[in-house]
């Protein structure tokens, strides 16, 4: 009742306002209108009136919409089985648990369903989408805009780039035109077509917010950041420029709620195509590796290594037996260039290295002890690097489970510590206690250590547990370790 009264009051006020306006201008009905000219607030000079026309995306959508597909998947996921409490059948709660217990699934699995988008790149039914859309699916169905549905074969999946290739049994299908992401600049309009929340062939638009974005745990992809509205179901769909060319695959959003909040990220189409070609040829992706761990540089780190500004990436780990170890690369080196490409971010190095086939020779420009140094290195396959990273049997059997090396002078200046042991590998008791690779062990039971043999002696003499003083980043903490 109050709400209705409020609305009627507002309507009455609006009518009164209009009536008042008419009354006030009765004597001016014959007056000629005076044109209003905008004036520059600073100079006072007249400013030209510019009417900016927003782009019309209808032709782009009409041409490319039929090549965008809706993908639905089904599969099974393992679930934790909950058993009915062991109660006496005469217990009053027995019937409650019997009736309301969730039914168990055979083999501890429950059916799952998902959805996403994709787009056709070849008329014989080759489709690109995201790896996370079809990963683990037992059945994939592709639906076209003309309502035809096809069972799709997953040709290959590449999780590092979140790219997958599907194949359906069809011919003469509409396809998209592929573009060059490098030719699209920040601030340009872009359009996404997909199936957010299952609403097929929905169109959203925005601009490119940034390029070459690095995201956590996504080292191989220089993402295109946009403000295009992207939601669950858009994954795997195309991102178009105004020419109607696909420049990316909508892959991720940044959100605190699970829904769109103004930040969406697309995989550049050139990155996806390199992966897609390998998946079509062999069903897997082969990448070059050099076996090195790196981190980004900031101003303080750069100055501590004698650089006047942050450039390159800092080597923090060099696994034993890998290509970098064999080439003589050391922790504390700064990689400035890889095969002629200037490096500014870890993701750039990962991308350039992975583009090379295993066994390819490459050159590195390093910054070491105040001067540049050239080193040649040969890439190897990921499996070989993984083997080089495997924990040696003697380390797995040790009481502590740490492989360490002395802290270098450069690392000491960087961490503002004198001496210590850098953790290069961790397993067993140390891993269970929370010790991480890259930690610096400063002391054992209050005794400073700077040599691996000292650490070994303290561990040998210890009974069941020791306390390690560890430097991690800018903080120090004692970590109790229950020895094996």
Query: What b/e string do you get for 110-137 counting C-beta neighbours within 10 Å, with b at 16 or more?
Result: eeeebbbbbbbbeeebbbbbbbbbbeeb
Query: Is 162 designated active site?
Result: yes
- Strand 177-178 vs strand 245-253: parallel, antiparallel, or unpaired? parallel
Distance between CA atoms of residues 367 and 348, nearest Å: 17
Q: For residue 386, which phi and psi values (nearest 5 degrees)?
A: -60, -40
Distance between CA atoms of residues 137 and 311, nearest Å: 43
Distance between CA atoms of residues 400 and 199, nearest Å: 55
Which of 117, 202, 209, 235 is catalytic? The answer is 235
Label each residue of 116-161 as H, E or C: EEEEEEECCCEEEECHHHHCCCCEEEEECCCCCEEECEEEEEEHHH
Which of 76, 132, 135, 304 is catalytic? The answer is 132
**3-class secondary-structure state, position 47:** coil
The answer to whether residues 267 and 161 touch, using CB atoms and an 8 Å cutoff, is yes
What is the enclosing helix (H) or strand (E) of 250?
A: strand 245-253
Query: Is 132 designated active site?
Result: yes
Sign of CA dihedral 98, 103, 106, 109: negative
Which of 72, 117, 158, 162 is catalytic? The answer is 162
Query: Is 235 designated active site?
Result: yes
Query: What b/e string do you get for 399-427 counting C-beta neighbours within 10 Å, with b at 16 or more?
Result: bbbbbbeebeebbbebbeeeebbbbbbbb
Residues with a known catalytic role: 132, 162, 235
């Amino acid at each position: 009742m109050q709400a209705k009264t409020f609305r009627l009051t507002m309507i009455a006020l609006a009518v009164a306002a209009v009536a008042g306006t008419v009354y006030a201008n009765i004597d001016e009905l014959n007056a000629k209108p005076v044109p209003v000219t905008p004036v520059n607030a600073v100079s006072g000079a007249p400013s030209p009136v510019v009417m900016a026309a927003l782009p019309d995306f209808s032709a782009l959508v009409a041409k490319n919409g039929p090549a965008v597909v809706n993908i639905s998947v089904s599969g099974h996921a393992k679930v934790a089985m909950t058993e009915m409490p062991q109660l006496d059948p005469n217990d009053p709660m027995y019937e409650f648990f019997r009736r309301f217990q969730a039914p168990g699934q055979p083999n501890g699995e429950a059916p799952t369903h998902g959805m996403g988008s994709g787009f056709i790149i070849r008329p014989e039914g080759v489709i690109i989408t995201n790896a996370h859309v079809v990963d683990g699916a037992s059945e994939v169905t592709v639906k076209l805009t003309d309502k035809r549905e096809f069972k799709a074969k997953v040709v290959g999946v590449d999780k590092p780039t979140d790219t997958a290739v599907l194949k359906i049994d069809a011919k003469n299908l509409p396809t998209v035109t592929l573009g060059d992401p490098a030719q699209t600049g920040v601030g340009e309009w872009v359009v996404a077509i997909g199936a957010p929340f299952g609403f097929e062939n929905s169109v959203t638009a925005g601009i490119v917010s940034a390029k070459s974005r690095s995201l956590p745990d996504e080292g191989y992809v220089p993402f295109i950041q946009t403000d295009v509205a992207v939601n669950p179901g858009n994954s795997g769909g195309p991102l178009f420029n105004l020419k109607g060319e696909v420049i990316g695959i909508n892959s991720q959003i940044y959100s605190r709620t699970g829904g769109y909040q103004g930040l969406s990220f697309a995989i550049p189409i050139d990155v996806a195509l390199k992966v897609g070609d390998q998946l079509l040829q062999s069903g897997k992706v082969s990448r070059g590796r050099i076996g090195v761990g790196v981190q980004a540089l900031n101003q303080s780190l750069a100055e501590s290594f004698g650089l006047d500004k942050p450039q390159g990436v800092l080597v923090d780990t060099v696994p034993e037996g890998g290509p970098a170890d064999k080439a003589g690369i050391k922790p504390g080196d700064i990689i400035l260039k890889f095969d002629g490409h200037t490096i500014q971010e870890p993701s750039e190095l990962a991308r350039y290295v992975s583009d090379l086939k295993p066994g390819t020779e490459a050159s590195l420009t390093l910054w070491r002890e105040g001067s540049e140094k050239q080193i040649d290195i040969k890439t190897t396959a990921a499996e070989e690097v993984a083997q080089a990273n495997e924990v040696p049997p003697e380390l797995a059997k040790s009481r502590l489970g740490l492989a360490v090396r002395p802290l270098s002078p450069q690392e000491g200046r960087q961490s503002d510590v004198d001496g210590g042991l850098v953790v290069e590998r961790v397993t067993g008791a140390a891993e269970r206690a929370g010790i991480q690779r890259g930690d610096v062990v400063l002391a054992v039971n209050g005794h400073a250590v700077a040599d691996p043999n000292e650490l070994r002696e303290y561990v040998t003499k210890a009974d069941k547990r020791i306390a390690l003083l560890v430097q991690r980043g800018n903080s120090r903490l004692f970590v109790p370790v229950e020895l094996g």
